[in-house]
Amino acid sequence: MILRILPTPRERRQVEHVVKWPWMVLHAAALSLPVSGDAQVRLPTRTIELSALTCQSCGQVVPGVKIADQSRDGALRGLPRNLIQDHRGRFFVINQGGGAPQVFDGTGRFIRLLGREGDGPGEFRHAGAVVPLLDGGVAVYDLRQSRLSVFDAELKYRRSRATVLRTADAALWKGDTLMVTASLNSPAAFGFPVHQTTLEGDSIKSFSFEPLSVVPRGAPERWKVVAAGDRYCVSRENRLAIACAKSGEAPVEYHISASWFRDGFAKIDSGAPPAAVFRSMAAISPTLIALVVLVPDPEFRKAIQYRRGADGTTALIDLNGYYDSRILILDLTSERLVASFRVSQALMYSTGRGGFASVDEDAGEIQVWRVRLAR
């Protein structure tokens, strides 16, 4: 019997978030965009299919900090949406259920909430993307309030402004430009998932690459963006590919062949594993990108245990027992894979700064991992 993973109202479990993210996270209300004259750009794309590379000694992931504070405000509030590390080593955990970000120090000890839940200055209804700034501060998008708030290096609230960009993912590019992924629900902006803007105001320049322009209207999809040196790279949740670009140059799509993996993703079947899904990516240097693809554990059948929700939907209990992660290291200069290795963890989140994280939701723990390449 095939059990399909469907979204639940509040308690969405881990596999459901591998399959789909709520469409409400990815669109904004139909608003007129304050845009620059050359606001919307469709860029042709050069495509490179990456050759499969398997190397037993190319690298490894090394366990680092474990975030497992069980104090009242430090306990994980359900499944995280994002986990970001800033330039001071602090971790910001964004919860699926909304509210303000939790802040942990570099040892995993809970420090404080960033602001609090509410509608006032420095407060959040549903924090989305957290963007570390070069001065040590952070910028945070609120998904429900359509607002961008800025905090200084000591995490004191400084200012906020309204924005049409409601996003779960953004990155700082070249030190002063925000690269934001969001699907804006207006005829003028539909199909332009990447937006270049600033902290000060929504003077938006919107981009669409060929691989990112094929999403049917109304289809749930999530994009991720990272900044690597003078390039920014964007991935789609439902496509084994990323597109990277420099200013003024045509982007390059790096495609991972689906033939590397088995088919059948988006369903749990005891007879066959699901196909791979592109889960996350992180820049580990100005020219190296680590890509994480979830693949079934060889013993995945042992991990097929279900929990049925009150609304009748079904979720997989042990994601780390069901999936492994294939880490692919892409060299943007040579345009080829330089390392590929498999780890026995479902690496669900990129922390930035070359790190990833896995989650044990039942234990209320986040394990942070670092990619280490063989010399």
**DSSP type of residue 303:** G
Residue type, 323: Y
Quick one: average pLDDT of 209-231? 72
Provide the mean pLDDT of the chain: 79
Residue with more model confidence, 82 or 79 = 82
The pTM is what?
Answer: 0.83
Edge-to-edge strands of the sheet including 323-331?
Answer: 277-283, 288-296, 323-331, 336-343
Phi, psi of 309 (to 5 degrees): -80, 170
**Contact predicate 123/100, CB 8 Å:** yes
pLDDT for 185 equals: 56
- Candidates 338, 332, 256, 284; CA nearest to 53 is 338
- Candidates 306, 219, 224; CA nearest to 267 is 306
Burial class (CB in 10 A: 0-12, 13-18, 19+), 299: exposed
**Contact predicate 89/105, CB 8 Å:** yes
pLDDT for 152 equals: 96
First-to-last alpha carbon distance for the chain, in angstroms, is: 47
Residue type, 95: N
**Contact predicate 8/149, CB 8 Å:** no
Q: How far apart are CA 336 and CA 314, in angstroms?
A: 40
Read off the pLDDT of residues 5-49 as tens digits, 9 standing for 90 and up: 222 333 233 333 333 333 233 333 323 344 443 457 777 788 899
Confidence of residue 102 (pLDDT cuts 50, 70, 90): very high
Residue 59, CB half-sphere, CA atoms under 13 Å: how many? Answer: 22
Confidence of residue 207 (pLDDT cuts 50, 70, 90): confident
Give the CA-trace dihedral at 290, 332, 81, 131, to 10 degrees: 120
Residue with more model confidence, 262 or 297 = 297
**Helix or strand holding residue 81 (H, E):** strand 80-85
pLDDT for 34 equals: 45
**Contact predicate 166/28, CB 8 Å:** yes
Read off the pLDDT of residues 318-352 as tens digits, 9 standing for 90 and up: 677 778 898 999 999 999 999 998 888 889 899 98
Structure tokens at 306: 């279900």
